């Protein structure tokens, strides 16, 4: 399928806006959301690791004030129906009736997704630096500003949450694995100071998967069905 003729959209990402149309469905490559975490190839702070569940409380409270009174992990963000958290229903209505994705709504969703993922990564012990409200730190998440007129369906967003159910069934069990991996990493860091690379890669892959499904079903920035894959 040929790429849209629209001019490249500005975003802080590294992915061309035409990428979604250039890759066969089911391939994880060039999916219109990228996520990675820099592996901490150094000794991690044992003290903050030991008491991470308490260390995270202040930033979790701050996130809850932005996300409407609660903070959840998984994809790292709470998807909201209205004016708090990740904007879902307002974007859906704009796509349905206007075929438009307001740029400032996109900017809000992108920055809040990045912030929430930094907290999720900190909670899972993948970084010992306290989550910043604005600096990227070790967490790299991006998705391009969509060309709503040419790249997004008008009616598909109504049923995307339903189509994503198979993913959430799989992710339920994978997320339990992340909890177990974090417990194993907690013990390893306290003893050796290092996060086992295999556990790190697994947790990173599951969070990436969550984010891709969120991009499809709730952020609504792509109509491309997310791959069932932990890989980049």
- Domain chopping of the chain, boundaries: 33-217
Distance CA 77, CA 94 (A): 21
User: Given pLDDT bands bounded at 50, 70 and 90, which one contains residue 83?
Assistant: very low
pLDDT at position 119: 96
Phi, psi of 5, rounded to the nearest 5 degrees: -85, -5
**Mean pLDDT on 69-94:** 64
CA angle 173, 176, 180 (to 5 degrees): 140
**Mean pLDDT on 165-183:** 97
User: Do 1 and 223 meet the contact criterion of CB atoms below 8 Å apart?
Assistant: no
pLDDT at position 87: 87
User: Given pLDDT bands bounded at 50, 70 and 90, which one contains residue 30?
Assistant: confident
Question: Token digits for 198?
Answer: 């295999």
pLDDT at position 76: 47
The pLDDT of residue 191 is above 80: yes
User: Do 152 and 95 meet the contact criterion of CB atoms below 8 Å apart?
Assistant: yes
The pLDDT of residue 73 is above 50: no
The pLDDT of residue 112 is above 50: yes
pLDDT at position 65: 87
- pLDDT tens sequence across 127-152: 999 999 999 999 999 999 999 999 99
pLDDT at position 23: 42
If one counts every other C-beta atom within 10 angstroms of the C-beta of residue 155, the result is: 8
If one counts every other C-beta atom within 10 angstroms of the C-beta of residue 202, the result is: 18
The larger pLDDT score, comparing residue 26 to residue 171, is at: 171
pLDDT at position 78: 54
The pLDDT of residue 2 is above 80: no
Distance CA 194, CA 40 (A): 8
pTM, rounded to two decimals: 0.82
């Amino acid at each position: 399928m040929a790429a849209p003729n629209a001019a490249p959209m500005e975003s802080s990402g590294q992915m061309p806006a035409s990428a979604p149309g250039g890759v066969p469905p089911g391939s994880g490559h060039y999916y219109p959301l990228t996520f990675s975490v820099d592996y901490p190839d150094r000794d991690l702070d044992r003290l903050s690791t030991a008491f991470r569940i308490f260390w995270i409380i202040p930033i979790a409270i701050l996130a809850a004030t932005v996300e409407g009174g609660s903070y959840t992990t998984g994809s790292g963000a709470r998807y909201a129906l209205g004016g708090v958290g990740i904007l879902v229903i307002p974007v859906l209505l704009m796509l349905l009736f206007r075929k438009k994705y307001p740029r400032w709504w996109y900017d809000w969703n992108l920055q809040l997704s990045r912030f929430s993922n930094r907290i999720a990564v900190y909670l899972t012990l993948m970084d010992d630096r306290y989550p910043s409200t604005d600096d990227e730190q070790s967490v790299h998440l991006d998705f391009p500003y969509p060309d709503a007129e040419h790249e997004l369906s008008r009616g598909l967003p109504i049923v995307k949450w339903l189509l994503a159910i198979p993913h959430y069934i799989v992710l339920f069990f994978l997320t339990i694995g992340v909890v177990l991996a974090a417990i194993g990493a907690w013990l390893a860091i306290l003893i050796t100071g290092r996060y086992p690379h295999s556990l790190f890669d697994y947790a990173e892959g599951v969070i990436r998967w969550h984010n891709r499904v969120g991009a499809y079903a709730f952020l609504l920035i792509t109509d491309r069905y997310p791959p069932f894959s932990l890989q980049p």
